[in-house]
Amino acid sequence: MTDTRSKRIVLTGAAGGIGTMIRPLLAPLYPGLVLSDRVAPPNLLAAETFIAADLTKPDEVAAAVEGAHGVIHLGGHSVEGSWDTILQANIIGCYNLFEAARQAGVERVIFASSNHAVGFYPRKRRIGPDVTVRPDSRYGVSKAFGEALGALYADKHGIAVTCLRIGNVGPRPIDVRRLSIWLLPQDLVQLIQIGLEHPEIRFEILYGASDNAAAWWDNARARTLGYRPVGRAEDHRAHAEAEQAKVGPDPVGDLFQGGTFCSAEFNNDVKHAGP
């Protein structure tokens, strides 16, 4: 692994849900960690460095990544939204981030992609990172765009880019779908470490999932790079099934990996949806 502990690492989206969960885990690993978001996290510590930046404003993004060795890009709109919302935060904002990183000489970028970039694959099909994207939403489209942009900046400009198709991050899976896509925060940090430190990284798409027996995703490449998840979704099956019983059936979402993101606004015949 490359030693990045003394180097400046920027975490965008630091005030968001995932950022809040992993900040305490990243801090001891990367003392040069810089937090960035539109607003400061409410529990910002005196020892933490924060730089306010709106992803839609190139000058602010450039200031946030100046002097950085690596960027962990969690920033943006984290759920489905209107086209304009997604366009500004996740497409224009993502471009601004990669371009600022290029201009600043950033060597590595971790891009928080999403399972929703491939959400229209059926649950009965196991997929790897090399499948054609099948986004389930405007949000999913923006994540597919981010992966493509990462490939461009890796191939054309030599930035080492790792795209993490994140499932659902939290202390335990909260329904049956999440038994297949759950990601323990500690395991997410492991994947981020691989992206920031592994010498073989050029451009990678890895799945952000823990050790889930019901997994829909082949994450062999991540394991080849040293990923050893400690979270086990099956340890929480009883809780997930109990929570699932409180939710009614979804005739569309229950067929596809993206769940309710697939069923929202759906007006197709399910037989004609997905590969």
- Of 95, 139, 153, 207, which residue is the catalytic one? 139
DSSP assignment letter at 132: P
Which residues make Cβ contacts (< 8 Å) with residue 265, sequence separation at least 6?
none
Residues 237 and 192: beta-carbon distance below 8 Å: no
Interstrand relation of 49-52 and 160-166 (parallel, antiparallel or unpaired): unpaired
Distance CA 95, CA 145 (A): 9
To the query of whether residue 139 is one of the catalytic residues in this protein, the response is yes
Residue 52 CB: number of other CB atoms within 10 A?
13
Distance CA 74, CA 66 (A): 17
Read off the tokens for 120. Answer: 């229209």
Residues 163 and 113: beta-carbon distance below 8 Å: yes
Residue whose pair of structure tokens reads 């499948």 in the numeric block: 131
Give the residue numbers annotated as catalytic, written as ranges.
139
